[in-house]
Amino acid sequence: MVMHIRGLPLPDGTDPDPYVKVYLLPDPQKSSKRKTKAARKTCNPTYNEMLVYERIPRGDLEHRMIHLRVLGDGSFWENPVLGETFIPLTSLSPGQHWVDWHQLGTPSETTGLQH
């Protein structure tokens, strides 16, 4: 579940229309993409949207991670990345609920991480 984001940057000096895009890595075909609806004109959006992945084999979780990106809902060709993070699923059990804040970095800060 994507719940809240706080303190997003102002890419052009105005409040963005942010949305969240999530991938379950590794995912060479990008078939695991899920995304939230865009929040309007805010740097502190609340989504409370469930992004569901089903039928993941129990042993696969320790080798998977979530790639979460926050993008601004801009023109058709330009959706600036406002922040992103990678969340390893090594300690998560199927059906377990886990609530935590995750620090968003810029793409240049996170490109060194392995997918």
Please list the rounded mean pLDDT of every run of 10 residues in the chain (115 residues): 92 89 92 95 96 84 91 82 91 73 81 46
Tell me how far the alpha carbon of residue 78 is from its chain's centroid. Answer: 18
pTM listed for this prediction = 0.85
Read off the tokens for 9: 């940057």
Q: Tell me the C-alpha distance between 53 and 58, whole Å.
A: 12
Residue 114 pLDDT: 43
Of 93, 109, 4, 105, the residue nearest 57 (C-alpha): 93
For the chain, domains (ranges, CATH) are 2-92 (2.60.40.150)
Residue 93 pLDDT: 67
Q: Residues with Cβ < 8 Å from 2, sequence gap 6 or more?
A: 20, 22, 36, 47, 48, 49, 51, 68
